[in-house]
Structure 1
Amino acid sequence: MTLLQTLISISNQEKLLTIYRVKKHNLIFCLFLKIYYKIVIEVIMFISKAMRVFVTLYQEGSLKKAADKLCLTVPPVSK
């Protein structure tokens, strides 16, 4: 094997390693985004439920009426 062939071979191996590293980093980043968006959606759903309870409580004027309208018991509405 000539020196030029050896250098080309090393260069190709480095390119493959670079591609592998980039794919690995992209995979990690994609997993991070997937987890991040899942958390964001959970937080939004929690906030929207709390807002729905608050608005219903305000509209109904009592815990019992709000709980009945939301199909909940009084303790979750009072929190």
Structure 2
Amino acid sequence: MTDKPRPVLIAGPHRSGADGDPRPMAADLARRETAARPVLAAGHLPVTGARPALPVRRDVAEIPRRTPQEAR
């Protein structure tokens, strides 16, 4: 074993069986986020499912954006 932090995939359903209903999708995400907490507390990087951007999507509106020209 190593003490080096590692990315740890927290897998679970997201759209499966939800039939497009955001409520079960949000509940599934909440379960994965709950499972991710002890992984983070152990010093690792939890990645919730195959879409790593899900945990930050709620904050996207507050992130300043730049055009490609401004980024240079």
- Normalising by the residue count of structure 1, what TM-score does the alignment of the two structures yield? 0.29
* Greater strand proportion: 2
**Highest CA radius of gyration, 1 or 2?**
1
TM-score by length of 2: 0.31
The structure with more helix, counted as a fraction of residues: 1
